[in-house]
Amino acid sequence: MRQIVRVFTLILIVGFTGLAARAEYPLAYVGPHDIDDYSMSPDGMKIALLKRVAEHTFTGTDNWDEITIKSTTGDGDLLVHAPSYRLYFSVTWGFDDLILAEGIQYDLRNRARDSSAQAVIYAINAKTGAEQLVYSTSKVDIRDDVTVPRIVGASRDTNEIAMVVERSRGKDLIIANIETGEQFVADKGSKKTQYWEFDDDFRPFLRFDEGKRENVQRVYYRDENGRWKLQRIFDPLENDFMPASNLSNDQKMLVVHRPDDAETSALYLYDFLNDKYIEQIFQKEGHDIVTLRRETYSDDLLYVGWFEDQLEKEWISEEFGEVGRMLDGAFKPEDNWSILETSVDGRKWLLYVSSPTRPGSLFHFDVDTLKARHVINLRPDLKKEHVFPIQRVDYTAQDGLPLFGYYIEGRIGPDAPLIVHPHGGPVARDHADFDGMAQYLAYLGYNVFQPQFRGSGELGRGFEEAGFGEWGRAMQTDIDDGVAALEAEGLINPDSARLIVGASYGGYAAMAGAALTPDKYTCVISINGVSDLAEFIDQFSGDDDADRVARDVWVKRIGNPETAPEAVRAISPRAYVSNIKANILLIHGDADDIVHVNQSRETFRLLQEYGVPSMYHELEGAGHSVRNEDQRAEMLMVMQRFLYGCQSPWN
């Protein structure tokens, strides 16, 4: 993700830093972790933690970001590195005693117009704190954008690092030797380039570019003449393509993908040059493989993973598989854990552990001693009274299809209003893990239900395709059937109010609930949601190859507005605005390139025209995913005010 900081962004962070200490503030749940980044030393004996502690003004500072070196043997903090006038974005421990840190160095004067900033990468000695400048940009006015280079790889064999530097024309992949200072441009990407994969010689062999829209990726490979050739176009939200190894000399590699004739995503041996799947290594029936972990330094594949309710793993190494199963028994049954990094010898692991009521913790694990040591909680302001357990609810749809969802009883109890919270995608799903948005709504006092309706992802092609042509139809009644199951099991009061809140496809489902079943919900929030399906499909009618692919996908999922316009109109919420009885809040990013902002602007205009109680809030500069923490905080505070005003959880 592009790392840009403006001076006014620094000022906003100040206000959020203090407020995040209160669970009532939404960023405590969905904002960045207290620890911005972390990395383990190659020997596995120390961990670097990057903490954002800055409190900024135009003219000075009391504290800036700090990098803390912690011992994994319980000896406490070995070093705290906190240089003045510097913000950090990431830490990478690629070499024995050297930590690489990306950031911005400020030269602050009494007047903002006299102050400057520059992007920097430093190599920091983990024992002494001594710094070596590896890379820097020219100084610019502090009021201008500062783009921070990203470290994307490190080679202990060659003492080199790879970093991505943004230029006006595109992105350069620069490889620098940290001993000699020598640098060269290994590749020139476009403005859409996201990242490169490296071969055993630490040279780029795959390039991943964003398509015309943020949900599309293009994969390129480098041929024998050094030219990049397009290999495939895919949507990572619907069918990811994950390299699971480096490319061998005979152009073969391990990948996780779902070929066109397969039911689920699986681990394959893949002939990259000929685009051929040679052998299926592992497949989990009824579930897509959604994650994998490789050793940090050898690049050997450790495991692939999928979600039942919780994260499950298939280990490639028999020895590590036995150790992993022992770890499963050592943590709490509801915990999900995954490996973040491994030591050079592979015997020490940095783990991330989370659960519905554990917002995320780091652990250090020693394979030889079988000891796991807690390192730090990533959201320390969330105590046990601020988070709530989830319960899986199995139920049957009206047509007999087995379904399930997750229910959270909020802090008030079963008589509180219910917020139905359908996920986006729709080819996505929720898990039995920490969900900041759902937990925040539960803390506000609402009960929360997350239905996994037909058409959701990670459950195989059959379940996904069961949603084709069912937007506003069976996919919507699947949600209704889930709420009825909650009532039947006595989890909620049948007389309590019903609200629905969703983003992307969840935003569509929220508006469909309001427009197609107007008596079901009292309050509705749609974030970057679709209201006019024909208009949405027509935006993919351009000359771009990826747009044509996307249009075919959406026509298959929704319907064809050219050949069956009335059928598409029948499931478009905007066509039934006059039916709506609920209070409506529409939120949309004005830079959304997947669901155009006009979807919400025009729908709001019609809501006002028909006298429907409604509000509209536009997020300046926000895209479809609303990744920026300031925009996310703005969005959530608008939501909270609307929810409390529309249906207080205590009423």
What type of residue is 598? N
Residue 327 has pLDDT above 70, yes or no: yes
The radius of gyration of the chain's CA atoms, rounded to the nearest angstrom, is 25
Mean pLDDT of 306-321: 95
pLDDT at position 181 is: 86
Residue 15 has pLDDT above 80, yes or no: no
What would the 3-class secondary structure string for 622-649 be?
CCCCCCCHHHHHHHHHHHHHHHHHHCCC
pLDDT in tens, 576-590: 999 999 999 999 999
Q: Look up residue 608 and give its two tokens.
A: 């006002």
pLDDT in tens, 377-429: 999 989 999 999 999 999 999 999 999 999 999 999 999 999 999 999 999 99
Closest to 2 (Cα-Cα) out of 190, 187, 153, 194: 194
The backbone torsions φ and ψ at residue 48, rounded to the nearest 5 degrees and listed phi first, read: -95, 130
Closest to 367 (Cα-Cα) out of 351, 387, 381, 386: 351
Give 26-85 as a DSSP string.
Answer: THHHHS--SEEEEEE-TTSSEEEEEE----B-SS-BS---EEEEEETTS--EEEEE--TT
Answer with the one of 102, 128, 148 that is the final residue of a domain. Answer: 148
Q: What is the mean pLDDT of the chain?
A: 89
535 found inside a domain: yes
CA neighbours closer than 13 Å in the CB half-sphere of residue 447: 23
Residue 11 has pLDDT above 60, yes or no: no
515 found inside a domain: yes
Mean pLDDT of 6-10: 29
How many CB atoms are closer than 10 A to CB 316?
20
What type of residue is 424? G
Tokens 């690629």 appear where? 94
pLDDT at position 18 is: 34
Neighbour order of strands in the sheet with 252-257: 242-243, 252-257, 266-271, 276-282
How many CB atoms are closer than 10 A to CB 309?
16
187 found inside a domain: no
pLDDT in tens, 162-190: 999 988 889 999 999 988 889 999 999 99
Answer with the one of 79, 114, 148 that is the final residue of a domain. Answer: 148
The backbone torsions φ and ψ at residue 68, rounded to the nearest 5 degrees and listed phi first, read: -110, 130
pTM listed for this prediction? 0.89
pLDDT band at 7 (very low <50, low <70, confident <90, very high): very low
Answer with the one of 105, 121, 148 that is the final residue of a domain. Answer: 148
Return d(Cα 225, Cα 545) in angstroms, integer.
Answer: 25
Q: Are strands 311-315 and 348-355 parallel, antiparallel or unpaired?
A: unpaired
Return d(Cα 4, Cα 125) in angstroms, integer.
Answer: 26
pLDDT band at 56 (very low <50, low <70, confident <90, very high): very low
* Alpha carbon 632 to its chain's center: 13
Residue 16 has pLDDT above 50, yes or no: no
Return d(Cα 337, Cα 12) in angstroms, integer.
Answer: 33
269 found inside a domain: no
pLDDT at position 237 is: 53
In sequence order, the 6+-apart residues with CB closer than 8 A to the CB of 255 are 241, 242, 243, 244, 267, 268, 270
Q: Look up residue 296 and give its two tokens.
A: 């940090």
Looking at the chain, how many residues does it have? Answer: 651
Q: What is the DSSP letter of 406?
A: E
pLDDT band at 153 (very low <50, low <70, confident <90, very high): confident
What would the 3-class secondary structure string for 117-173 be?
EEEEEEEEECCCCCEEEEEECCCEECCCCEECCEEEEEECCCCEEEEEEECCCCEEE
Give 12-30 as a DSSP string.
Answer: HHHHHHHHTTSTTSTHHHH
Q: What range does the domain containing 75 cover?
A: 1-148
Percent of the chain exceeding pLDDT 70 equals 92
Helix (H) or strand (E) holding 462, with range, is: helix 461-465
544 found inside a domain: yes
651 found inside a domain: no
477 found inside a domain: yes
What would the 3-class secondary structure string for 315-377 be?
ECCHHHHHHHHHHHHHCCCCCEEEEEEECCCCCEEEEEEEECCEEEEEEEEECCCCEEEEEEE
CATH code of the domain in which 589 resides: 3.40.50.1820
Residue 348 has pLDDT above 70, yes or no: yes
73 found inside a domain: yes
pLDDT in tens, 430-485: 999 999 999 999 999 999 999 999 999 999 999 999 999 999 999 999 999 999 99
Helix (H) or strand (E) holding 437, with range, is: helix 436-444
Instruction: State the total domains in the chain.
Output: 2
Give 613: exposed, middle or buried? Use CB within 10 Å, 0-12, 13-18, 19+.
middle
Return d(Cα 616, Cα 588) in angstroms, integer.
Answer: 8
